[in-house]
Amino acid sequence: MIYIIYLVIFGLFLTSVLGLVASWIDRKVTARVQYRVGPPFFQPFIDITKLMGKEVVVPNTASKGMFFFAPLMSFAGAVVASTILWINQLGYTEGFLGDLFVVIYLLMIPSIGIMLGGLASGNPLARIGASREIKLMLSYELPFILSIASIIVRSGNSIIFHRIIEIQGQNGANALSFSGGIALIVSIICIQAKLSFAPFDIPEAETEIMAGPLIEYSGIYLGLYKLTKCVLLFTLPFFIIILFLGGLNLSGIGIVYSIIKYIALLVIITLIRNTNPRVRIDQAMKFFWGPVTVAAIVSLVLAFIGL
Amino acid sequence: MSLKLRALLKSPWVFHISTGSCNNCDIEILDCLTPRFDIERFGMLLAPSIKHADVLLITGSCNRKSMIRVKKLYEQAPKPVVVVAIGECSCSRGLFIHSYNCPVPLDKVIPVDIYIPGCPPKPEAIIAGVVKLIQKLKGKA
Ligand code: SF4
């Protein structure tokens, strides 16, 4: 019962609000980089409200069940992942063995949902987008998991968030060591692709395949996808902060540091997004399976040595 | 005014259809998105797909081939949706009014909410037109 309350308060409500604020920061920074004024603060909230009020158009060629189920699935995956992160961070629970792996799996579900939605909508452009999403996912998951593996090795083979945060509290943040630093860079590149931001916005390339898998979605289902994106925009940096930067500290002056950590990470992601052109899918695959995976393996080896 | 309409007016995503324009009007629309005019200040974004659109910006001379498509696109757009005719061509077919290829004006095919004349209209005129449209919808609701 108590977990359902956590799910609603932290996962659904708090993370959605913080995610929408994060997406405002993202849009505002983008605008400032381009010498524009940018949207007002409540813009993401208004966008979602508007989408709730729009009509839902279902294409004739769509397979209806999956078309409606896929956005819910994406959203649910992201929300549950963020709930697990929150309750570990706030110390409400000791966690359970392997909750790190559960979160890794849950963070894949939004991408799978986008893929299924695209394939179910029966639009050729959406299918191209979905196929690109599959390829992109195959390429970024390998280095992402390797970089997390090096954190697991560094924190004494523990696979519980609680322990990882505790060990960082004793020995300092993981990112301050060689292996942790390299793994941090690798995972920032990977979450760039997980969020499908430029240079890895290949599945949703607006100028070539018109929003890819989302092309046929309208109304509240499009709103759910947008909300999932916002939730991920909060959850993925939060995940990185827990693994690499010692977690958030929500007491006293620690709040300021926590906010600075998160916003710094978000601004880095936004700046990468704004200063890079889109790459092709084969280039992205070569990039992830080449240099990025090598860097992740190097960090894993360094972690074994103990650097 | 209902929350639905209020949210729509604060975040209109525009979709841009050319019905055989000379491309000048389209360039002026794109000008509105540049740093100088920056319509994202008002929450407007360029929607990639018709299913995401709230506002249809229609330019061009309404020729036979494209009007079939415009009608289809209007039917596909999720309602409520607002139609804006930009440029002399889409308001009244402009200098193509006697052409064999442009038999009917735009507002005989789909309902048009606002007309922005000019050949091409300046970005300022487009923004002013949209502001008037918002006032009209506010008054109506
Ligand atoms: S109104 Fe003028 S500028 Fe616009 S499409 Fe027609 S001819 Fe071109």
Mean pLDDT computed over A100-115: 88
| Cβ pair A31:B38 closer than 8 A | yes
CA distance B96 to chain A (A): 31
Residue B45 alpha carbon to ligand 1 centre in Å:
23
Residue with tokens 């360039």: B27
Which residue ranges form the domains of chain B, and what is each CATH number? Answer: 20-140 (3.40.50.12280)
Q: Is the pLDDT of residue B141 over 70?
A: no
Nearest-CB residue to B40 (from A36, A55, A214) = A36
Cβ–ligand 1 distance for B20 under 6 Å, the answer: no
What is the rounded average pLDDT for all residues in chain A? 84
Q: Which whole number is the average pLDDT over A74-84?
A: 88
Residue A98 region, left (φ>0) first, then alpha (ψ -120 to 50), else beta?
Answer: left
Q: What is the pLDDT confidence band of residue A183, given thresholds at 50, 70 and 90? A: confident
The pair of three-digit structure tokens given for residue B36, joined into one six-digit string: 């100088």
Cα of B101 from ligand 1 centre, angstroms: 16
How high is the pLDDT of residue B21? 81
Q: In which residue are the tokens 């442009």 written?
A: B102
> Confidence band (pLDDT; 50, 70, 90) for A256?
confident
Percent of chain A with pLDDT over 70: 97
Q: How much distance in Å is there from the Cα of A277 to the middle of ligand 1?
A: 32
Q: d(Cα A109, Cα A128) in Å, to the nearest integer?
A: 19
Q: Which residue has the higher pLDDT, A110 or A246?
A: A110
Quickly list DSSP for A58-89.
--TTS-HHHHHHHHHHHHHHHHHHHHHHHHHH
Count of positions (residues) in chain B:
141
A25-34, A83-92, A216-225: lowest mean pLDDT where?
A83-92
Q: Which ligand 1 atom is nearest residue B22's CA?
A: 8
Following DSSP, what letter does each residue of A229-282 receive, concatenated? HHHHHHHHHHHHHHHHS-----STTHHHHHHHHHHHHHHHHHHHHHH-PPPPHH
* Tokens 């992205």 sit on residue: A284
What mean pLDDT comes out for the span B47-61?
85
The finding on whether B60 has its CB within 6 A of some atom of ligand 1 is yes
The residue whose CA is least distant from atom 8 of ligand 1 is: B22
Place of tokens 């889409």: B90
The pair of structure tokens assigned to B13 is 């995503």
Supply the pLDDT for residue A82. Answer: 87
Are A8 and A216 in contact by the 8 Å Cβ rule? The answer is no
Q: CA separation (Å) from A162 to A40, A169, A170, A304, B121? A: 38, 11, 13, 21, 61
Locate A252 and state its tokens: 């006293």
**What is the model's pTM?**
0.86
Beta pairing, strands B114-116 & B82-86: parallel
Helix (H, G, I), strand (E, B) or coil at A164: helix
**Neighbour order of strands in the sheet with B82-86:** B45-46, B13-18, B55-59, B82-86, B114-116
Cβ of B24 closer than 6 Å to ligand 1, yes or no, is: yes
Please tell me which of A167-181, A195-209, A223-237, B35-49 the model is most confident about, judged by mean pLDDT: A223-237
- The pLDDT value recorded for residue B106 is 84
From atom 5 of ligand 1, which residue's Cα is the shortest distance away? B21
CA A34 distance to own-chain centroid: 24
Chain A nearest-CA residue for B43: A39
pLDDT of residue A208: 73
B16, B40, B72, B134, best to mutate vs chain A, most A CBs in 10 Å: B40
Query: To which H or E segment does residue A118 belong?
Result: helix A99-120
Size of interface A-B (CB pairs under 8 A): 75
- Of the listed ranges A51-65, A87-101, B22-36, the least confidently predicted one is A87-101
- Rounded CA-CA distance A290/A284 in Å is 10
Mean pLDDT of A9-23: 85
Q: Is a pLDDT exceeding 80 seen at residue A287?
A: yes
Residue A158 confidence (pLDDT):
79
Amino acid B140: pLDDT:
62
Interface of B with A (CB under 8 A): 3-4, 7-8, 10-11, 35, 38, 40-41, 43, 48-49, 51-52, 54, 76-80
Phi, psi of A35 (to 5 degrees): 55, 40
Rounded CA separation A107/B138 (Å): 42
Q: How far is the CA of B44 from the centre of ligand 1 (A)?
A: 23
| Gyration radius (Cα) of chain A, Å | 19
Measuring CA to CA, how many Å separate B54 from each of A87, A262, A286, B12? 39, 34, 39, 5
**Hey, where are the domains in chain A?**
2-304
What mean pLDDT comes out for the span A112-133? 86
Asked if pLDDT for residue A210 goes beyond 80, the answer is: no
